[in-house]
Amino acid sequence: MRDFASRYQQKKVAPNRVKVQRKPLDLGKYLRPLGRISLALAGGALACGALFLACRAIGSATFFRLTNIEVSSARHMTRDEILAIAGVEPGRDLLRLNLKRMGEQLTRNPWVETVHIRRYFPDGLSIDVTEREPLAVVNMGFIYYLDKNGTVFKVLNKGDRLDYPVITGFSEEDLSSDPAGTRKALGTACELLKILREKGAFILADVSEIHYDKGYGFTMFTASGALPVKIGSGDFAAKLERFARIYRELMAQRPALQYIDLDYNDRIIVKRT
């Protein structure tokens, strides 16, 4: 049995080994495409650079040079002041002007209410400024101008006109603590002033001061003798119409009068001294 097993056992066959001859690596085969890509990228970069320089040259060229500037007439600002605030002068590139920024700069001036700026090719620009017009002056510690919309817009400086009706009873503190209520009351004062500007026996020239009291309303003081005329906070037209009928007669009695109260629907109260 032992001999049979040894004869039957197969010998292990060594695997075939074939020698493979390695060829040298052809780097050029791989580098040639990379070279072509590099050349393409370099060419593209040069083209982009040339395009950038061309665009920059075109952008720096002024095709629409500003030569014609129209500025609307204004009472409180000169043409030169408007142009200086807007930051515009002849010779600028019309396309490069920032109209929005120019308008914002102009509206920072207290006299300016609205601004319209337009460009007209090839060389024109128009600046249309609407100014605020004072309706009265408001004594709030400092003296301010008040416009027709009830807006306190400018502290009076040396040289500013003072020949406007004076409104008292308001303060800067009121504007900060109760801005909505204060603006509403100032708007009501403007309504009263507008009615007084209408022609009649009793007109704005007869009023030297209008005083506001938050609890009561408005009291006018006559230019002659500073006689208090109480008018409250509404229905001004009807009250002043009744007062106008007897105003001249009452003014003849001025030294004997203490105040006049118009704040009634159907009558006038005259308080004598």
Beta bridge partners of 125: 69, 119
Mean pLDDT of the 19-31 span: 53
Q: What is the pLDDT of residue 34?
A: 53
Whether 24 is covered by a domain: the verdict is no
**Cα–Cα distance for residue pair 222/207, rounded to 1 Å:** 5
Q: Which residues contact 17 (CB under 8 A, 6 or more apart)?
A: none
45-54, 170-179, 183-192, 248-257: segment of lowest average pLDDT: 45-54
> Do residues 105 and 149 both lie within one domain?
no
Kindly state whether residues 97 and 149 are assigned to the same domain: no
Task: Answer with the one of 101, 131, 161 that is the final residue of a domain.
Answer: 131
**Edge-to-edge strands of the sheet including 217-222?**
152-155, 142-147, 134-140, 166-168, 207-213, 217-222, 228-232, 257-261, 269-272
Write the pLDDT tens digit of every residue in 54-67.
Answer: 555 555 556 789 99
Radius of gyration of the chain from Cα atoms? 44
204 and 105: one domain?
no
We report the CATH number of the domain holding residue 233 as 3.40.50.11690
Query: Is residue 171 domain-shared with residue 227, that is, in the same domain?
Result: yes
pTM above 0.75, yes or no: no
Q: How do residues 177-225 score in pLDDT, each as one tens digit?
A: 999 999 999 999 999 999 998 866 777 888 999 999 998 999 999 988 8
Q: How far apart are CA 148 and CA 151, in angstroms?
A: 7
Find where tokens 């040298």 sit: 24
Please give the structure tokens belonging to residue 40: 């393409």
Q: How confident is the model at residue 4 (pLDDT cuts 50, 70, 90)?
A: very low
In this structure, the answer to whether residues 142 and 95 fall within a common structural domain is no
pLDDT averaged over every residue in the chain: 84
Neighbouring C-beta atoms of residue 186, cutoff 10 Å: 22
* 227 shares a domain with 143: yes
Indicate if 151 and 102 belong to the same structural domain: no
Domain range for residue 267? 134-272
Residue 200 has a pLDDT of: 67
For residue 55, how many other CB atoms are within 10 A of its CB? 10
Same domain? For 160 and 175 the reply is: yes
Co-location of 204 and 246 in the same domain: yes
**For residue 145, what are the β-bridge partners?**
137, 154
Q: What is the DSSP letter of 254?
A: G
The domain tally of the chain equals 2
Read off the DSSP letter of residue 3. Answer: H
> Would 43 be classed as within a structural domain?
no
Give the pair of three-digit tokens for residue 217.
């309303």
Domain's final residue, options 110, 131, 152: 131
